[in-house]
């Protein structure tokens, strides 16, 4: 299952003698080009070693440039989210039309290759009736039992071993969690038994196995959100996130960590609303609602702030802009038309609106696209948490979940130097966010890093069971 260049050599490198120290990363030659043959890509410039206080971690074996692709990783196991089952490839999670020529009963595959590869588990899976397990998970907003189901099918069909996740760190489980898992296991085993499997085939499928697998999935599973490639994808993602209850709005910041109460007062309590309330925004709202657009509202607010004089038309110029395609600009022209129209109808004159041309609007949108944060308020009550969980389960932005080997060794940092992205399918891409020196630990962020320290610590402690000791948390930021 691992990519070729991560196979044997990777396994040897990944598991050095347990007492190997942090410092050995700086002296190793792993990752240099001496060992690579002309036909093989060089091994990734990383090594798994023991850290001082966070168990194993991934370290750079040479310096890495910002934006560089460090390595890719194929999953050990993956599964589409329930709402995406008929929209994405049942194996690689690539967006796939319902009427794909590779449709097999209720599921779709993106290619003959995926359909062939999936045969291992799918031949077993399709014999059983999963409706009880699906109903159980749907009402409780559970997604991980589907990963366990797929893994069980892979074990039964012989394409993987029952112990394949054992190397990963497990979460600590409470008595409550185990009793919930007993119910899930009952439904899983029941479905297999009803499909005619015998006890011998299901020997491994006991509570020790199931709880061990779920404990590892809990800490190591990634929620897959495909990065948008096309403008249509962006529209779909925007629509999904606009609909999602989890997001309460969007904002662009300059230096979020220096953003303080006084700044907030200046920006938000004066000026723009006097301008905004004079205009009728219904056409813009209707336009954005049907297309699932949210950023025009940020542009509208910015325009009101410029008109009322609380900010300058160039205030976002310092931020990095996204590259815009011709299609995007023509869509922006329509939005601008509605925006300008609303101001003009409210009695604004040309002089007041001089700045409001397509150069300004496209420049602002290009910056918002890269720099806007989607604001999700931390949940305050159990009901809030349930609502957030339900929203995230339903959200179209996530196409599924997967567990990987190498990415599971990356520790967390609230100010990470590496990030994990999915472009087209479940294959993960680990990329450097800034320049990384040889010997430096590579860390990704497990959560939304824009939250304050207490909220981050709380989430990491509840969700992953550890107290974050990254430099940002240590400095109380």
Q: Using the rule CB under 6 A, is 458 a contact of ligand SAM? A: no
Q: Is 408 near ligand SAM (CB under 6 A)?
A: yes
**Applying CB under 6 A, which part among 204-212, 289-297, 382-390, 411-419 lies near ligand SAM?**
411-419
Does the footprint of ligand SAM cover residue 220 (CB under 6 A)?
A: yes
Asked if 215 is part of the footprint of ligand SAM (rule: CB under 6 A), the reply reads no
Query: Is residue 401 involved in binding ligand SAM (CB under 6 A)?
Result: no
CB 225 within 8 A of CB 398: yes
Task: Return d(Cα 293, Cα 284) in angstroms, integer.
Answer: 10
> Using CB under 6 A, which of the segments 30-38, 333-341, 377-385, 463-471 binds ligand SAM?
463-471
Residue 457 in contact with ligand SAM, rule: CB under 6 A = no
Report the residue closest to ligand SAM, judged by CB: 55
The distance from CA 82 to its chain's CA centroid, rounded to whole angstroms, is 17
Interaction between residue 412 and ligand SAM (CB under 6 A): yes
Site for ligand SAM in 49-108 (CB under 6 A): 54-57
Which of 409, 426, 432, 456 binds ligand SAM (CB under 6 A)? It is 409
Residue (219 or 342) nearer to ligand SAM, CB: 219
**Looking at 236-244, 302-310, 332-340, 460-468, which segment touches ligand SAM (CB under 6 A)?**
460-468
Interatomic CA distance for residues 456 and 450, integer angstroms = 9
Quote the longest CA-to-CA distance of the chain.
82
Helix (H, G, I), strand (E, B) or coil at 96: coil
CB of 49 to ligand SAM, least distance (A): 10
CA 259 to CA 264: how far, in whole Å?
7
Binding of residue 469 to ligand SAM (CB under 6 A):
yes
> Binder to ligand SAM among 411, 417, 418, 425 (CB under 6 A)?
411
Go through 229-266 and write b for each residue having 16 or more CB atoms within 10 A of its CB, e for each that does not: eeeeebebbbbbbbebebbeebbbeeeeeeeeeeeeee
Q: Residues 91, 185, 214, 219: which binds ligand SAM (CB under 6 A)?
A: 219
Q: Please give the helix or strand (H or E) that residue 296 lies within, else none.
A: helix 295-308
**Which of 364, 351, 340 shows the shortest CA–CA distance to 279?**
340
- Site for ligand SAM, rule CB under 6 A: 54-57, 169, 219-220, 408-409, 411-413, 464-466, 468-470
């Amino acid at each position: 299952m691992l990519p070729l260049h991560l196979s044997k050599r990777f396994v040897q490198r990944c598991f050095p003698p347990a007492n190997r120290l942090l410092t050995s990363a700086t002296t190793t030659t792993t990752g240099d080009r001496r060992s690579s043959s002309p036909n093989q890509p060089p091994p990734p410039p990383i090594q798994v070693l023991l850290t001082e206080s966070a168990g194993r971690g991934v370290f750079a074996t040479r310096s890495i440039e910002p934006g560089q692709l460090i390595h890719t990783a194929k999953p050990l196991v993956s599964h589409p989210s329930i709402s995406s089952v008929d929209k994405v490839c049942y194996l690689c999670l690539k967006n796939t039309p319902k009427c794909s020529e590779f449709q097999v009963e209720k599921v779709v595959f993106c290619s003959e290759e995926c359909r062939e590869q999936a045969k291992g588990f799918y031949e077993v899976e399709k014999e059983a009736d999963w409706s009880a397990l699906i109903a159980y998970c749907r009402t409780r907003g559970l997604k991980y039992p589907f990963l366990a189901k797929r893994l069980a099918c892979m074990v039964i069909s012989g394409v993987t071993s029952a112990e394949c996740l054992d190397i990963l760190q497990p979460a600590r489980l409470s008595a409550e969690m185990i009793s919930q898992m007993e119910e899930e296991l009952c439904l899983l085993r029941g479905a297999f038994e009803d499909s005619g499997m015998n006890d011998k085939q299901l020997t491994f499928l006991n509570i020790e196995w199931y709880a061990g697998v779920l404990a590892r999935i809990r800490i190591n599973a990634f929620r897959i959100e495909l990065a948008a490639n096309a403008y249509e994808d962006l529209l779909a993602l925007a629509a999904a996130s606009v609909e999602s209850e989890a997001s309460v709005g969007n904002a662009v910041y300059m230096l979020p960590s220096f953003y303080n109460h006084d700044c907030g007062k200046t920006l938000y309590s004066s000026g723009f609303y006097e301008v905004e309330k004079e205009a009728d925004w219904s056409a813009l709202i209707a336009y954005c609602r049907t297309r699932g657009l949210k950023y025009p509202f940020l542009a509208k607010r910015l325009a009101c702030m410029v008109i009322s004089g609380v900010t300058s038309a160039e205030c976002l110029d310092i931020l990095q802009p996204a590259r815009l395609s011709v299609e995007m600009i023509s869509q922006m022209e329509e939005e601008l038309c509605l925006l300008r129209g609303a101001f003009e109808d409210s009695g604004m004159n040309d002089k007041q609106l001089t700045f409001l041309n397509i150069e300004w609007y496209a420049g602002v949108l290009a910056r918002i696209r890269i720099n806007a944060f989607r604001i999700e308020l931390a949940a305050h009550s159990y009901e809030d948490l349930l609502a957030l969980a339900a929203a995230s389960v339903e959200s179209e932005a996530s196409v599924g979940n997967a567990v990987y080997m190498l990415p599971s060794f990356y520790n967390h940092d609230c100010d990470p130097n590496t990030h994990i992205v999915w472009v087209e399918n479940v294959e993960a891409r680990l990329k450097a966010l800034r320049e990384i020196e040889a010997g430096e630990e590579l860390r990704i962020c497990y959560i939304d890093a824009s939250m304050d320290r207490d909220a981050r610590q709380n989430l990491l402690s509840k969700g992953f069971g550890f107290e974050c000791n990254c430099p940002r948390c240590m400095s109380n930021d």
